[in-house]
Amino acid sequence: MHIPDGWIDPAILIITWFFTLLGLFVSIRRMKHVDERRITYMAVLAGTIFAAQMLNFPVFGGTSGHLLGAALATTIVGPWGGLLVISVVLIIQAILFGDGGILALGANIFNMGIIGVFLAYFIIRLMMVYTDPKQSSRMKIKYYSGVFLASFLSVFIASFFAAIEIGIPIFNSSSFVTFSEVLPLMLFYHLIIGVAEGVITCVIVAYFNTIEMDVFLEVNNPSFSFPLLRR
């Protein structure tokens, strides 16, 4: 889902860069009081997401997909930490590996970081806050449905935003694809990629639950990272 340079209208670039820089500014400020343990988790998580994004798995229709990792990041280090993790991965991919454009980096961080991470966070908060999978099988189903749905929708909606950005020209009328052309195809491919993302994320979260890690520490304690969402 890495958009290269030259695919997006300059006006869309400016808008996405504005929200990206704002998001990064707030994230870095939120990290001021974060301890060493959490940054260690973020570092290892970022390395893993980078390696996972390198790995394209085959998808029906002669295309391929890779893990986005936004839902995984938000479950482990919260939305602000998750945004930083995804942003660092995307910046390194763009600068060192030529994956995604530099000018389009704002749009890529906006889609996969801001949309992916925060959407996953809101779904997890809505569906599974204070849900303990060890209490009953019903709770377990609710818990993993939340993880799956958050992962799936983070990919699916991020691709929807990517389609909007690619397909809607504002100043640059020479855009080579239109929104109506690119949207159904993007949603179709990312529907399948999203299912794979959901399954992979559930497996990883299940592993973290077996080692009794505070997987949803930040999700269950929103005041820790996101006072606006305090219930």
If one asks whether residue 148 binds other proteins (CB under 8 A), the answer comes out as no
Is residue 55 a contact residue for other proteins (CB under 8 A)? yes
Token pair in block for residue 17: 């860069």
Task: Tell which one of 22, 26, 92, 141 touches other proteins (CB under 8 A).
Answer: 92
How far, in Å, CA of 164 to CA of 169, rounded?
Answer: 9
Smallest distance from other proteins to CB 184, Å: 9
Toward other proteins, which CB reaches closer, 94 or 157?
A: 94
DSSP string, 43-90: HHHHHHHHHHHH-PEEETTTEEE----HHHHHHHHHHHHHHHHHHHHH
| Dihedral, CA of residue 186, residue 17, residue 196 and residue 131, to nearest 10 | -130
Instruction: Quickly list DSSP for 120-163.
Output: HHHHHHHHHTT--TTT-HHHHHHHHHHHHHHHHHHHHHHHHHHH
Q: Rounded to the nearest 5°, which phi and psi values hold at 214? A: -75, 70
Using CB under 8 A as the binding rule, whether residue 46 contacts other proteins is answered as yes
Residue closer to other proteins by CB (options 127, 217) is 217
Closest alpha carbon to 161 in 12, 11, 29, 5? 12
**Residues 204-223, mask of contacts with other proteins (x by CB under 8 A):** x--xx--x-x----------
Give me the 101-120 binding string for other proteins, x by CB under 8 A, dash otherwise: xx-x----------------
Does the protein bind other proteins through residue 7 (CB under 8 A)? yes
Q: Report how far apart, in Å, the C-alpha atoms of 75 and of each of 6, 42, 146, 164 are.
A: 34, 11, 11, 27
Question: Whole-number minimum distance, CB 142 to other proteins, in Å?
Answer: 24
Does 14 help bind other proteins (rule: CB under 8 A)?
Answer: no
Pick from 12, 13, 24, 45: which binds other proteins (CB under 8 A)? 45
Q: Is 227 in the site for other proteins (CB under 8 A)?
A: no
Which positions touch other proteins (CB under 8 A)? Answer: 1-7, 31, 35-37, 39-48, 50-52, 54-59, 61-66, 88-89, 92-102, 104, 159, 162-163, 166, 176-177, 181-182, 185-186, 189-190, 193, 204, 207-208, 211, 213
